[in-house]
């Protein structure tokens, strides 16, 4: 089983990827894996486990039952940070977030640090999509809560020499979307594109025009969502690109859609994967400095698949199969 991948680009152009893998989701042998790929190379480096249950237990000095979702991101100086989920008790609703970093391109990682983000036994905070870098040098990380109810939040993360400073704000109240994809439009305007577990069975979008201080009520858009993870990014030409499961019921296809009106309407442009009964899920998008777009996603829960395409292909494609 392999699941929940993430991507980041290092200043030297290398791509760094993380995902978790093991005998089954939530098993004790699940570890978070790390791999890199240089722009000239077509192959990824041999995956290396960077967080195991045992390592997390030692690092955080407490019992860790399992590890889960991880998101990797790089700052302009090349420091890689990894936000990852651990669970000590119960299922995923018992998740807590932890932070570790690497200043040598992922070769070695600092001791993990537990982030306290919830007053109720610090339970149920998870991450899935990429953070947005702020002008101040800190990060706005889209996270979500799923204990009694589910809702999206933004973790404001500031890593200084004195340590890590965190604050948190809510995108919407309980029972209104989760696993947000944070898509900055300007310095103060951003969208949160949300996975939905309500009856609308549709992708929904919330908007902030004041740098995340307040958010609009999420609105459903013209794309379905079968309660499955999605990702959205703003391309360098200003359009928004979304990777999603085009179904109200299942994850047997993975498609791309574009929006030219800041997320109000979307147009399907390509099918990345499709097979009856299969599971293609948890997409993660990245536009590299070269302009190429990279997509990683869970392929039949068995592997992580990487797809790369350029803007001309994206502009020319009209619901054709991707490679």
Partner 1 sequence: MTHASVVELYSAVCPWLALVWCLQRVAGLIVPSLRGWALLAVAGAIAVVVLLVPVQGLVMARWVAGLNANFSIPLTVILAVIVWERVFEPSLLAEREWTTAWSFGAIGGLALYPMALGLGSFDPYEWGWPFSPLFVVIGALTVLLIWKQNRFGFLLVLAAVAFQLRLLESTNYWDYLLDPIYSLVSIVWLAGGFVTSMRSSRTKRYSKTLPPNISTI
Residues engaged in binding partner 1 (CB under 8 A): 57-58, 61-64, 88-89, 114, 116, 118-122, 145, 147-151, 153, 165-170, 172-175
Shortest distance in whole angstroms from residue 317 CB to partner 1: 39
CB 36 within 8 A of CB 105: yes
- Strand bridging mode 202-208 / 219-224: antiparallel
Closer to partner 1 by Cβ: residue 166 or 288 = 166
Among candidates 6, 54, 59, 53, which has minimal Cα distance to 243?
A: 6
Each as own residue / partner, the long-range contacts of residues 275-278 (CB below 8 Å, 24 or more positions apart, any chain) are 276/252, 277/252, 278/251, 278/252
Task: Rank residues 153 and 279 by Cβ distance to partner 1 and give the closer one.
Answer: 153
Select 149 or 236, whichever has its Cβ closest to partner 1: 149
To partner 1, the closest distance from the beta carbon of 112 in angstroms equals 12
**Shortest distance in whole angstroms from residue 208 CB to partner 1:** 14
DSSP assignment string, 121-133: TT--EEE-S--EE
Shorter beta-carbon distance to partner 1: residue 194 or 269: 194
Rounded (10°) CA dihedral 242, 248, 252, 255: -20
Q: What is the smallest separation between the CB atom of 92 and partner 1, expressed in angstroms?
A: 16
Residue 39 makes CB contacts below 8 A (sequence gap 6+) with 13, 14, 15, 288, 290
- Min dist CB 52 to partner 1, Å, is 14
C-beta closer to partner 1: residue 88 or 101 = 88
For residue 72, the SS3 value is strand
How is residue 277 written in tokens? 């009964």
Residues paired with 237 in a beta bridge: none
In the complex with partner 1, the residue whose CB is nearer, 145 or 251, is 145
Query: How near is the Cβ of 213 to partner 1 at its closest, in Å?
Result: 11
């Amino acid at each position: 089983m392999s699941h929940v991948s993430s991507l980041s680009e290092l200043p030297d152009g290398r791509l760094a990827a993380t995902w978790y893998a093991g005998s089954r989701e939530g098993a004790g042998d699940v570890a978070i894996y790390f791999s890199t790929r240089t722009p000239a190379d077509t192959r990824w480096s041999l995956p290396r486990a960077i967080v195991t249950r045992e390592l997390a237990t030692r690092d955080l000095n407490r019992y860790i039952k399992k590890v889960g979702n991880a998101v990797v991101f790089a700052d302009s100086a090349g420091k890689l940070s990894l936000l990852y989920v651990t669970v000590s008790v119960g299922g995923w609703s018992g998740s807590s977030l932890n932070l570790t970093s690497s200043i040598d391109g992922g070769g070695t990682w600092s001791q993990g640090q537990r982030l306290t983000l919830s007053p109720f036994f610090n339970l149920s905070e998870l991450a899935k999509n990429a953070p947005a870098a702020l002008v101040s040098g800190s990060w706005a990380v889209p996270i979500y809560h799923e204990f009694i109810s589910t809702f999206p939040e933004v973790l404001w993360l500031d890593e200084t020499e004195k340590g890590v400073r965190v604050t948190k704000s809510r995108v919407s109240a309980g029972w209104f979307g989760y696993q947000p994809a944070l898509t900055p439009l300007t310095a103060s305007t951003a969208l949160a594109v949300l996975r939905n577990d309500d009856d609308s069975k549709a992708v929904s979008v919330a908007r902030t025009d004041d740098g995340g201080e307040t958010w609009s009520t999420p609105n459903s858009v013209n794309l379905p969502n079968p309660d499955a993870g999605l990702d959205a990014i703003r391309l360098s030409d200003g359009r928004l690109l979304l990777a999603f499961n085009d179904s109200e019921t299942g994850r047997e296809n993975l498609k791309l859609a574009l929006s030219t009106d800041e997320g109000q309407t979307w147009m399907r442009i390509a099918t990345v994967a499709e097979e009856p009964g299969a599971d293609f899920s948890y997409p993660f998008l990245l536009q590299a400095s070269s302009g190429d777009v990279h997509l990683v996603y869970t392929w039949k829960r068995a592997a992580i698949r990487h797809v790369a395409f350029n803007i001309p292909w994206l502009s020319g494609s009209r619901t054709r199969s991707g490679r």
